[in-house]
Structure 1
Amino acid sequence: MYNEVGSISSNVFLSTNGTTYWKPDVSAENIPVLGMIFDKWDDVVNMYKSYAVQSGFSPRLSTLKVVKGFTTHRYILCSRAGKPNFQSFDSAASSSISRSRRSKFKVRGTKTDYKNFVRDIRLFIGDRDAQMIVDSLEKRVLNRQNFSFEFTVVGTELRSLFWVDDVMKCNYEAFGDVLAFDATYGTNMYKMIFVPFTGVDHHKRCVTFAAGLLCDETIESYKWLLSRFLDAHKKQPLLVLTDQDAAMKQAVATVFNESIHRLCMWHIMRKLPVKISGDLLENTNLRACIHKLVWNLFITPSVFEEKWQLLMDEYHLDDHPWLSEMYAIREQWVPCYFRELQMCCLMKTTSRCESSNALFKVNSSGANTLVQFLLCFDNSIDGQRYNQRLMEFESVTTTPLMLTVLPIEKHASEIYSRTIFLEVQKEIRKGMLYCFMVNSGVVYGTKTYTVAHTDRHGNIVNEFQVTLELGDNSVSCDLLGKSQSVDVSYVPPQGIRNKGCGTAPRLIGPGEKAIENAKKRKGTLRLCGKCKKYVDHDSRNCEKMKRLAAGANVVDHGPSTDGSNSVDPGPSIAGP
């Protein structure tokens, strides 16, 4: 009941389904009652106007029904009933509008409208920001399958946050051999450090495995975050890639004790102009020689160490402190020391982390609350997964252009995703254009071939040894420092290959399966509607139907003189 001066009194009720409604408090003599009789229509209208004034609305006259000159029905409605009549006007003179070509007007909000909207959101959030994001993630744990969420609080302050959903866990199970993570700033107004865990999928695109927020970059904070990551995914990656942050290094060594820790080459090589004299770098070939040696994946560690020492002796850098320090930890960042590891070339730098962090920072800003940051993060993840579906659709529904007639190229197009196939196709083309056999020989039942790899100018870059055992015709190739026994022609894979292909020749969608199943199989018998037998034709092509039609034609038109309409009597039945 509202008793304020100048307001309409009403009683508040709650319906059975939880809806709130109000009943106006009107005196009994002014309430319309079924069965009331009036002398004129004007009295009825005045009665409803009096009731509307006390109830807080205004009535209006609507349609009426007239029978033989007498009004039998009259409709009285609320003034807000129905749809209002819109009036056309030149909106370009009074609002912010742009008109695109061959389209209708598009009305946007002004800059002030957006500012007011953000202001209202922040007023609604208030000082409940941390509690709202915790409540939101706890609801996801209850409502979403296989969703994991952890956080820590010191007093009333949120110190760390970690979350991962089911899709991220599936992606890590398939593509989690190599893991990279890097901290980024400027994603929220509390200056909490955002740490996404990034990998590479079978389309060579960035994929997020998990995410976390930290209040600082201490060893304990990173240990907590990596421990929660390990609890959620249940297995350690083969290779972990980070920058030279000391806290990250100790945390990775403690939590991921079975993984190989690799440092980002880009963060190391970018310090080269700062650590070495500029005159030495600009006036000599030292920079090019170091880059050519360090980034070479095809040499062995012993060859790298030999060439490094020759380079230091040539430029008199044996006692250089920074180069000596980097050489001491060469096993943590030089690619040739990781050549025996599968997927070692997948990531050499944290550039994918930088790309992923840039995407999240585009959608979020340092002025956002934690709730707004979580919404921006969800939008970025949705966009990432949408692009993955687009590339998957392209790989399944289209056929790439073949550059050769080799069976191995066609087989690669059937099992690999489009991005991976283009990489394989490039290697096949290079093998045909830039590789040739230098010499061959037979030693103790083993035939050895030397295959040279040249550059565009015809200079030999690398040489590989290919051996053929004459006893069992097995072939082995010394490539990337690891011998792999392969046949000369391609062999279909037996195991699951989740780095660009699957167990089937390629992924087949439900629609394509339905079309394939609906096709007519050669030699398949079907039930004929005329013969009532399982034969290789249908009722339209049934011979029995054709004979009946021919017989009907003879009955209608009679037999022709040339016998063209004669009826085949069919096989005769012998009597007893």
Structure 2
Amino acid sequence: MIIDYSHFGDIITFDTTYSTNRDARPLGVFLGLNHHRETVVFGGTLLYDETIESFVWLFETFLEAMSEMKPITIFTNQDAAMSTAIKVVMPKTYHALCSWHMWQNAEKHLGHLLKNESQFNNDFLACIYEYDGEDGCLKAWNEMLDKYDVYENKWLIDLFKLKEKWAQAYVKRTFTAGMKTTQLSESFNADLNDCLHIDFNIVEFFTHFERVVNQKRDKELEVEHNSRHKFPRLKLKSSPILNQVATMYMPTLFDLFQTEVEEVMALSILKSNVSQTHSYVVGVFNQYGKYEVMWNPLDETLSCSYRKFESFGILCRHGLKVLDVLDIKLIPNRYIIKRWRRYAKDGSEKNCTSHNIKPDT
């Protein structure tokens, strides 16, 4: 678990569940995503309670075991004690809220709207996921409040105070590896429950816990083996960029990247300013969604206001469009980060603990 954390502990989820053991202690599990985008387990604990003091002790103990390497981002539910403990122990770690738990809470507090207003579901989810800019997000939120006359709803008021933890316009500022929820925990708990009995004591519980962890590791080894003996299918076989990354990315990541390459054909350069640093506005003609892409030919650095590389770790279609216009056939190596490479776990370098994505050299 420690070795896995050294490679993939940049993004973690933490959640608790009950009814897993004889003493009814809450089970807390630290999980993440490996280079296959499959679940990897970093640790588990049985807590006596869910107070601030207990969570502070837990997070401190976990980080001590992990050589004090703090994650870039941690996803949790809206538990107030957990949130306070994260501020105490990991003040520089970005704390994101699980959108799935938000939706579960919305059903409790806004059930009448979900039942009687068929469009509210779409409007609420749009505020979470669809707006890349702060102005657009705030406008959509206020329009939703006005449309359904919920300005005085206390739950929505409190939720909006935490918008930096869940709205796409803010979440995209940090690295999340594409994670949005703690559903990894829900899935792992389901696997755990398949081989647990409520009358297990602690020793029996952790024996079965380790069995489930080993099942996850066996699955990773199987995927690893298959990926090293299978070349991905290129939809554009003559594409230099696809041929470049096909040997570097894990198959799951390659498929995601290939989708970005395919979408380049739909984009246009809507505005350009070529000087010492090249600036482009990229989008689909006559459609919503325009993004500024900057290219510096001196140091071959690329950035886009969509921030897919900064938040996910692969280049977006807008940046790839500019590379295509500039007749640059290969991605600069710095934009193929080790975390998503086929050999991400090779070597002992612990490159997932910085609070910035550092390009590979």
TM-score (norm 2): 0.81
RMSD: 3.0
Q: Deviations over 1:389-434 (max 9, x none)?
A: 00111111111111002111111111111111111112222333xx
Q: Distance in 2 between matches of 1:230 and 1:449?
A: 43
Contact 1:301/1:336, CA 8 A, preserved across alignment: yes
Task: Report the structure, 1 or 2, having the larger strand content.
Answer: 1
**What's the offset of the Cα at 1:461?**
4.0
Match of 2:75 in 1: 241
State yes or no: 1:210 paired with 2:210.
Answer: no
Aligned counterpart, 1:501: 341
Question: 1:258 offset after TM fit, Å?
Answer: 2.3
Select which of 408, 425, 430 maps to 2:263. 430
2:93 and 2:282 map into 1 onto residues whose CA distance is 35
Residue of structure 1 in register with 2:245 after alignment: 412
State the partner residue of 2:15: 182
For residues 306-328 of structure 1, the C-alpha deviation after alignment (integer angstroms, 9 at most, x for no partner) is 22223323333322222111111
Q: Which amino acid aligns with 2:281?
A: T
Give the match's secondary structure for 1:181: strand
Q: Give the Cα separation in 1 of the matches to 2:267 and 2:294.
A: 15
Cα distance 1:249–1:472, how it changes in 2: closer, same or farther (>3 A)?
closer
Q: Is the 8 A contact 1:446 1:467 kept in 2?
A: yes
- Tell me which moved more, 309-318 or 353-362: 309-318
Please give the alpha-carbon distance, in whole angstroms, between the structure 2 residues aligned to 1:235 and 1:473.
Answer: 30
1:425 counterpart SS class? helix
User: In structure 2, which of residues 286, 290, 306 is the aligned counterpart of residue 480 of structure 1?
Assistant: 306
| 8 Å CA contact retained: 2:250, 2:342 | no
Instruction: Give the drift of 1:438.
Output: 5.3
Once the two structures are TM-superposed, the CA of residue 371 in structure 1 deviates from its matched residue by 2.4
8 Å Cα contact 2:249-2:340 kept in structure 1: yes
Q: Looking at both structures, which has the greater relative contact order when contacts are Cα pairs under 8 Å and sequence separation is at least 6?
A: 2
Judge conservation of contact 1:265–1:334 (CA < 8 Å) in 2: no
Q: CA deviation at 1:370?
A: 2.1
* SS of match in other structure, 2:333: coil
Distance 2:18 2:107 in 1: 26
Q: In structure 1, what is the equivalent of residue 122 of structure 2?
A: 288
| Partners of 2:273 and 2:280 within 8 A in 1 | no
Q: 2:330 aligns with which of 490, 506, 509?
A: 490
Shift in Å at residue 270 of structure 1? 2.4
Alpha-carbon distance change, 495 to 451 in structure 1, aligned in 2, over 3 angstroms: closer
Contact 2:294–2:303 (CA under 8 A) maintained in structure 1: yes
- Offset at residue 345 of structure 1 (A): 4.6
> Structure 1 stretch 247-256 or stretch 443-452: which is displaced more?
443-452
1:324 equivalent to 2:164? Answer no
Matched residue SS, 1:460:
coil
User: Cα deviation per residue 1:517-540 (whole Å; 9 max; x = unaligned)?
Assistant: xxxxxxxxxxxxxxxxxxxxxxxx
Unaligned stretches of 5+ in structure 2?
A: 311-318, 347-361
2:132 corresponds to: 299
Displacement of 1:193 after TM fit?
2.2
TM-score by length of 1: 0.52
Q: Which residue of structure 2 aligns with residue 385 of structure 1? A: 217
Q: Contact 1:219/1:251 (CA < 8 Å) preserved in 2?
A: yes
In structure 2, C-alpha distance between the alignment counterparts of 1:503 and 1:451, rounded to whole Å: 33
Give secondary structure in 2 for the equivalent of 1:196.
strand
Letter matched to residue 170 of structure 1: I
Equivalent position of 2:281 in the other structure: 450
| One-letter amino acid of the counterpart of residue 341, structure 2 | C
Contact 1:191 1:215 in 2 (8 A): no
CA contact (8 A) 1:202 1:500 kept: yes
Q: 1:465 aligns with which of 275, 278, 292?
A: 292
Alignment size in residue pairs: 330
> 2: distance between equivalents of 1:496 and 1:430?
19
CA offset at residue 275 of structure 1? 2.3
Cα shift at 1:368: 1.4
Equivalent-residue separation in structure 2 for 1:483 and 1:495 (angstroms) = 8
Letter in 1 for 2:337: R
Q: Percent identity?
A: 26
CA–CA distance in structure 1, aligned partners of residues 58 and 142 of structure 2: 40
| Cα separation, 1, equivalents of 2:33 and 2:299 | 37
In the alignment, which residue of structure 2 is the partner of 1:400?
232
Contact 1:437 1:449 in 2 (8 A): no
How far the C-alpha of 1:475 sits from its partner, in A, is: 7.2
Match of 2:356 in 1: none
Residues 34-79 of structure 1: CA deviation (Å, up to 9, x unaligned): xxxxxxxxxxxxxxxxxxxxxxxxxxxxxxxxxxxxxxxxxxxxxx
Q: How far, CA to CA, are the matches of 2:194 and 2:145 in structure 1? A: 44
Change (3 A) 1:285 1:445: same
Distance 1:254 1:447, change over 3 A: closer
The code of the aligned residue for 1:479 comes to S
Tell me the alpha carbon deviations over residues 84-134 of structure 1, each in whole angstroms, 9 at most, x when there is no partner: xxxxxxxxxxxxxxxxxxxxxxxxxxxxxxxxxxxxxxxxxxxxxxxxxxx
What CA deviation, in whole Å up to 9, does each residue of 1:497-534 have, x standing for no partner?
A: 33211679x98xxxxxxxxxxxxxxxxxxxxxxxxxxx
**Cα distance in 2 for residues equivalent to 1:382 and 1:397:** 23
